[in-house]
Amino acid sequence: MIENSMFEEEPDVVDLAKEPCLHPLEHDEVEYEPRSSRLLVRGLGEHEMDDDEEDYESSAKLLGMSFMNRSSSLRNNMSVYRQNPNGSCLVPSTRTMVVCTVVLVVAVSLIMAIYLLPKCTFTKEGCHKKNHTMELIYPLATNGKLFPWAKIRLPPDVVPLHYDLVLQPNLTTLKFAGSVKIVVNVVQVTWKIVLHSSGLNITKATITSTGGHEAKPVEFLEYPLHDQIAVMAPEALLVGQNYTVNIEYSSDLSDTYYGFYKISYKDENSKQRWFAATQFEPLAARSAFPCFDEPALKATFLIKIKRDEKLTTLSNMPKKATTPVTNGIVQDEFFVSLKMSTYLVAFVVADLKNVTRETNGSLVSVYAIPQHLNQVGYAVNTTVKLLEFYQKYFLINYPLEKLDLVAIPDFQSGAMENWGLITFRETTLLFDSNTSSARDKKLITAVIAHELAHQWFGNLVTMEWWNDLWLNEGFATFMQYFAIEEIFPELHSDEDFLNLIFKAMMKDSLNSSHPVSSAVQSSEQIEEMFDALSYIKGASLLLMLKHYLTKDVFQAGIEVYLHNHNYGSAQSDDLWDSMNEITNGTLDVKKLMKTWILQKGFPLVTVVRKGKIISVKQEKFLYRVEPENWTSDASYLWHIPLTYTTSSCNFTHCTNAYLLDQKSAVIELPEEVEWIKFNVDMNGYYIVHYTEDWKTLIDLLKKTHTALSPKDRANLINSIFSLAGLGKESLEKAFELIDYLNKESSTAPLTQALFQLSLIYSLLEKNGEQQLAARVMHRIEHLLGDKIDQQRWTDDGTLSERELRSTLLAFACTHDMRNCRTTATEMFEKWMKSNGTMSLPSDVMKAIFTAGAKSSDGWEFLLKMYSSSVSEAEKSKMVEALASTEDVRKLIWLMQNSLEGEVIRAQELSHIIATVSQNLPGYLLAWDFVKENWEKLARKFHLGSYTIQSIISWSTSQFATKAHLLEVKSFFESKSEESSHLRCVKEAIDTIQLNIQWMERNLAKLQELL
């Protein structure tokens, strides 16, 4: 990549500054082409110079005038001509003639040289803005020849239309062979076809023209830095013509979680088996077959897979035919796919069993390894309900004849929405009625709902480039919660969404945040877009828009968007244009929403009430740590759909709306009210500061907390603690607000209060303030102790009650509160004596395991049971309990073993590091482990991936000293440029600085307060 700073280098041509009579412009008026750009070869295509061939005449005139002016000033001093006493000129001497001739030749040469320069050379800005050097300089391929393309994005010369892909994975040698025929259409005359390939050993490449019978061998070049290969055509490829590129290759099945990768697992007889699966999003299809691996370059796919006759193969489309190949090997051919992006292509080769149901002409099947088949029932029924809902809501039928959901034994992310073949981590698809808790059920339902929403948002209509990833992920996240609320209201998924929004806002309040729609180029930048802002902030902005437009208008806008862009790609503006078709001039949705997706952060709205007059003003909510390094926020302005409710709410008209599109405004109420609460149910992505009215709201919670909804109460708790962190409110007032909690029975406010107090406790505990931390825990016990005592060690009650029980008892046992740990330990010992055969209540299983793992014998027994358990829900609770031990040697072993993937799978590592880092004995160990194993982690999980983001965040988030700040900075600075420039590294540094500031600002106050 060429940086603009390169243009500031000194030239390696004649230094004109040292030749004053030949230097027509001042030294600081011309920016020169860098040495490196002149030493590389220029572009070959004539069209690549078109933009530079502008009015060069003006450059020549500029030079000529300057030169003449400079020359005229020297005339009086010229001594090369001899004069007679009478003033007449004599004939010049031979020496004079020679000198003049040389000067003239040099001058003409210089004029011609300048004439050929683009006129932007003579501007202050120079030519770097157009960055033509980027277009004209070509790198070297692996064989030393010039590679004919220098950009990360593929050239527009050709577009793919269709792929014929044949693969033969070998689960014994763990390698695969493949061949691909790609039909391309030529858009611009070219001699090259540039596409993606990563880690593939290409053995043969040919090209055939439309109607041509002979495949012509072609030279191909490889440029691994950009994962690109170039097929060099033997003759010009003509516009409008189709050509077929045929490439044969081989590779190893990957040992990471990307591409076509291998998985080891044990069958019912404890025999090791192998499983091959794909994970292509965002950039890994190129490591399974050469392709045009960009989301907008959609094509159709015909896939054939050769496999052992005892195994099963699955792909995006239904199977068309199976034919024998050789002894014991058969080939499965699948129907031609719909037009789709490469990242959605998928295939699985394994020993699988399935359960199937039919709905609306499509077969829904859930696949798992044989010993897990009895856990797929819930997923099948849930998928059918959700699929039917989405088809009615979008008014577009699911377009394929089948939908497969596959539980993968080792899978990095939660799930992947491959069209027609959705892959899942086992914990997000399999439900065991004996060991899966209420929370497990919510997780499985949410993940299925998310991936099914993608079959429309992402698969049918795809974002054009990764900068608009939120169009895929924000929409799927929004739809998952909306669909669950409509179909499974008993799950109270809106409470989970609320907690996620609070956490996304914590990330978004840092200077290291980014706009929802952000320019990205490199693989690390693309990977980092898969974060809480693309998913959760994107979803919450859609929630806010839905409430402002009303649900019917919003739904109609979605229908227009999907119909206008189906089987194609879209940008953010396309969505807003679709919404504007429905609003029909009554509201400019594009103008409103651009203020939210193109600016990072969110607004803080300050409310001042005087009688009936409400003054509101907006500013950017931003934690400031080092003012000189922080972005100015004076220019930030959002168009905020404010909502508010008051004490005069009469149930028929409780919520009022006001669009704040200026820095400040005044709202006049029809009458004076006792209290006012903005951001009703936290449906808007902003925080409200009430200045004097905080006292009114605190009194309201103490007297009649049910006057506000549970989400409003949780919102107030989150807001006041956030404002205390910002320095706008006191911690004293925040603690005063939560004093009402002993009367609280709803999950949302209780979990939010517990979260905020736990943050304070952890910060104090990890930074040598154990006594003060104990006083915080005493305050929590004072507020929630009675609630903890009321919990029963069963699975009774509503799903919301059961989830609250899990949260409270796990917290109480971890911190040895009340008699929780005693009860849990007794239950664990009974379970251990039964050799794990005794049934434990699933909602309190984690609390029981955590208490049992405190003893060495209990920990060892739990590890043994982990190895033999067939329930992924149970194993997930076990591994968290194992990581909660205070035995340092066991923690080190656990992290190391998970990285190696022997007993504990590598997919669990980020969860293990998160758990270890929360405990006092483990938080420094987790960071040491990350430092010692950084290269292995980066290779296994890929720089920028959500797993790497999580590992960096959890292993550093408890630090609050300048020594730790320096250590984290120095560590990443010592690593590769790609590592040190990761956004999650900057976020970790921001967080540590914020922790330091919080301790300095609040430590003395807390000591007084508690």
Which is nearest to 866 in space by CA: 881, 856, 854?
Answer: 881
d(CA 866, CA 878): 7
- Per DSSP (E only), the strands in 151-218 are 158-170, 175-186, 190-196, 201-209, 216-217
What's the distance, CA 434 to chain centroid?
35
Q: Are 579 and 559 in contact (CB under 8 A)?
A: no
Strand partners, 347: 315
Distance CA 373, CA 376 (A): 6
Q: Is 46 a catalytic residue?
A: no
3-state secondary structure of 257: coil
Cβ(342)–Cβ(316) below 8 Å? no
Phi, psi of 580 (to 5 degrees): -65, -25
Is 602 in contact with 621 (CB distance < 8 Å)?
yes
The number of C-alpha atoms within 13 Å of 785 and in the hemisphere containing its C-beta is 11
Rounded to 10 deg, the angle between the 872-882 and 845-852 helix axes is 40
Tell which residue, 173, 412, 170, has the closest CA to residue 282: 412
Q: Which residues contact 632 (CB under 8 A, 6 or more apart)?
A: none
Burial-class residue 91 by CB neighbours within 10 Å (0-12, 13-18, 19+). Answer: exposed
Are the C-beta atoms of residues 239 and 186 closer than 8 Å to each other? yes
Pairing of strands 353-359, 362-368: antiparallel
Residues 245-266 as b/e (b if ≥16 CB within 10 A, e otherwise) read: bbbbbebebbebbbbbbbbebe
Residue type, position 893, single letter: W
User: What is d(CA 257, CA 229) in angstroms, rounded to the nearest whole number?
Assistant: 23
- Residue where the block lists tokens 């990957």: 254
* Measured distance CA(999)–CA(961) in Å, rounded: 9
Distances (CA, A) of 728 to 689, 735, 760: 8, 15, 18
Rounded to the nearest 10°, the torsion over CA 804, 807, 809, 810 is: 160
Given the residues 294, 426, 451, 729, the one annotated as active site: 451
Q: Distances in Å between the alpha carbon of 27 and those of 3, 9, 149, 228?
A: 22, 13, 34, 41
Contact by Cβ (8 Å): 372, 436: no
Q: Looking at the annotation, which residues are catalytic?
A: 451
